[in-house]
Structure 1
Amino acid sequence: MIRYPMLKESAKIGVTAPSSGVPPVLHNMFKQACERMEQRGFEVTCGDTVWTQSKAKSAPAKVRAAELNKMLSNNEIDIIIPPWGGELLIEIMEHVDFTTIQDKWILGYSDTSVLMLALTLKTGLATANGTNFVDVRGEYSDETTAMWEKVLRTKVGESVLQHSSEKYQKKWQHDAPTPCVFHLTEKTNWKTVSGAKEKVEGRLLGGCIDVIRHLIGTPFGDVAQFRKQFLNSDEPILWFLENCEMNTTDLRRTLVHMKLAGWFENCSGILFGRSAANEPVGDYTVEDVYQDMTEDLGVPIIYDIDCGHQPPQITFVNGAYAKVEVENGRGTVLQHFKA
């Protein structure tokens, strides 16, 4: 059975940096995010790792893990939201104490998805792939991003519906944020390999493919055991994946690796987020990668969805049962918090 935390009103947010911290030059930006969240009724408590960044990480692995473990086991903290992702979260995984975790949400994306996917796979605790903490520092949030609160306040047995965005951000402009932080200038257009309307459903699992791929073959990436222990045997997996930096052949190699490792057994489909990466190698394009995956797995592929490093982001809950529909460039994601 999947366990779903419940985000209460006036929740206490624990901010720790299991991957990258905030360098001094950006401390004011981060403080603004804290102030915004407090204005919205949340209580914010920040760990020491948030304020430091050196050698591509906020702190040594054991220091990061100790602070994270403290927040995971603290029943006064209702939700953990890292400032953002980073590069080396995987260094802490062997030091995470999975035995003392209190049920609470973890929200984020990018490198944070290593922790979130591992937590769901090992414990059956639902985790939320969505906005980062620094991205909610605006005067308001766009409609897609703002849904994170409604999603995380969904009760067990209930459902929550999200829609594709109207526009998305093509390029980050950190030095010139808009009132909603992002520069939403490009028309959103969800696509399918078939070119036709698609409907797909299953238990959601996923994250940033660049980093979650490194869980394969480790104690933290046992998808088969997760299915056996926490799901009904006939429930398919619906993967959501987003590519941060890989070119098309690296993406293809990674997806084949996932297939050979059994991650795509009983897979009902794959949802791919928009990406500024996906650089072609020769004439091998990302559309070719998606076509190859459709032929390999015999399942629908939906791409350019609201997930990843080109915001805004739909909040996808690892472990939830989702029904996704796409037609004429528009999409809906209905998530059922099914135990």
Structure 2
Amino acid sequence: MIKYPVFKRGATIGVTATSSGAELHHLLRKAKERMEKRGYRIVLGETVWTQEKAKSASAEKRAAEWTKMMENDEIDLIFPPWGGELLIEILEHIDFDKIKTKWVLGYSDTSTLLLAMTLKTGIATAHGTNFIDLRGEETDETTAMWEKVLSTETGGSITQRSSRKYQRSWQQNDSPCVFHLTEETRWKTVTGQPVKLKGRLLGGCIDVIRHLIGTPYGDVRAFREKHLPGEPILWYMENCELSAADLRRSLVQMKLAGWFDHCAGILFGRSKANEPVEGYTAEDVYRDLSSELGVPIVYDIDCGHQPPQITFVNGAFAEVEAGNGKGVVVQHFKP
């Protein structure tokens, strides 16, 4: 059984740097001001202001601040400013058996915490935008869906559609619209034919979630047997920095570790990484994996480091359709 947190407009949002702090303080302040104008109360932790040696603070301090916000009944959503590199350090300092049911939202390195939390507790977590990316005067319709997704009640459903355009490269600036969506979005399938997939969502940034394999925080089999007995898993993943060969090695490791047992299909986000190795491309990786697992694979979806991105909820039951370059994701908040 999956537990879904409750979220409403006007909620209190706790911002804590579970990985890297926001070195660009003016962007963080702008995001806070923008969210407050929209009716939210924002509580900024100490860790958001600091950064040294690839982390905002010590693992113990980051874990303690996150835990304090999770225990605070006045805070409804934990929203890291952005990702980073070393979130995995904090996991051993968190008592997941004692945390409350509330939303945690983010992506990149934050997805390490999101997946670990859902696997350990059965509490749904949300893979979507970062806090600092909501600082603009305008928000594209794909990114803006995070509010509607998190506001969905247990037993309810929410539909999201593929974006019309996406951003090719990052530009940290103060423009009214944070993302510069210039490239046409096209969802693709390995077969080139339309596909339909159904299953319980799990996933994140493959660069970091792969390191949960073999740890107490990456036991997919135990999670499935305890919380989703007999149900298929629909994986979504995005690649930040891996070459095609490293991507392949990571996926094979996941397969050998049993992560793809009872898999209904896999969704891959578009990526500027995926560098070919001796002619071996990401598309080759997808074809090989699809053939080995006997499942459909959709790629270049709205997920990851080339925004905008759909808000995927770990643990939710999803129905995904992809064809003719477009995609539809319907998530059911099924216990």
Matched position secondary structure for 1:207: strand
Partner of 2:311: 315
Does 2:187 match 1:190?
yes
Q: Which amino acid aligns with 2:11?
A: A
Q: Which residue of 2 aligns with 1:264?
A: 260
**Matched residue, 1:149:** 147
TM-score (norm 2): 0.99
Residue segments in structure 1 that go unaligned for 5+ positions in a row = none
Q: Distance in 1 between matches of 2:281 and 2:175?
A: 33
Structure 1 residue aligned with 2:112: 114
SS at match of 1:106: strand
Residue equivalent to 2:99: 101
Cα distance in 2 between the residues matched to 1:102 and 1:8: 17
Structure 2 residue 218 is matched with structure 1 residue 221 = yes
Tell me which amino acid in the other structure corresponds to 1:263: W
CA distance in 2, matches of 1:186, 1:22: 28
Correspondence for 1:131 among 129, 132, 144: 129
Cα deviations by residue, 1:34-71 (Å, 9 ceiling, x for unpaired): 00000000000010000000000000111111101111
Q: 1:290 aligns to what?
A: 286
Q: Is 1:249 the counterpart of 2:238 in the alignment?
A: no
Give the SS at the match of 2:98.
coil
SS of residue paired to 2:65: helix
CA separation in 2, counterparts of 1:271 and 1:77? Answer: 32
Residues in 1 aligned to 2:327 and 2:19: alpha-carbon distance in whole angstroms? 32
SS at match of 1:206: strand
Contact 1:72 1:100 in 2 (8 A): no
Q: Report the AA paired with residue 167 of structure 2.
A: Q
* Alpha-carbon separation, structure 2, partners of 1:301 and 1:131: 23
TM-score normalised by L of structure 1: 0.98
Task: Compute the displacement of 1:232 (Å).
Answer: 2.9
Residue 116 of structure 1, CA deviation: 0.4
Identity of counterpart residues, as a percentage?
68
Conserved in 2, the CA contact under 8 Å of 1:74 and 1:102? no
| Partner of residue 41, structure 2 | 43
Contact 2:12 2:42 in 1 (8 A): yes
C-alpha RMSD of the superposition: 0.7
2:39 is paired with a residue of what secondary structure? coil
**Shift in Å, 1:76:** 1.2
**Code of the aligned partner of 1:117:** L
State the alpha-carbon separation in 1 of the partners of residues 327 and 38 from structure 2: 29
**Stretch deviating more after TM superposition (182-191 or 4-13):** 4-13
Q: Matches of 1:58 and 1:143 in 2, distance apart?
A: 31
Cα gap change, 1:105/1:219 in structure 2, threshold over 3 Å: closer, same or farther?
same
- How far 1:140 moved relative to its partner? 1.8
Give 1:254's aligned amino acid.
Answer: S
**Quick one: distance in 1 between partners of 2:239 and 2:171?**
20
Counterpart amino acid of residue 120 in structure 1: T
Per-residue deviation at 1:73?
1.4
Please give the alpha-carbon distance, in whole angstroms, between the structure 2 residues aligned to 1:9 and 1:99: 28
In structure 2, what is the Cα distance between the partners aligned to 1:326 and 1:178?
33
State the alpha-carbon separation in 2 of the partners of residues 155 and 310 from structure 1.
29
* CA–CA separation in structure 1 for the residues paired with 2:79 and 2:278: 40
Deviation at 1:119, TM superposition (A): 0.4
Q: State yes or no: 1:278 paired with 2:274.
A: yes
Query: Is this contact kept in 1: 2:97–2:121, CA < 8 A?
Result: no
**In structure 2, what is the equivalent of residue 7 of structure 1?**
7
Q: Residue 158 of structure 2 corresponds to which residue in structure 1?
A: 160
Q: Which moved more, 1:311-320 or 1:5-14?
A: 5-14
Q: How many residues align?
A: 335
Q: List structure 1 runs of 4+ shifted beyond 4 angstroms.
A: none
SS of residue in 1 equivalent to 2:74? coil
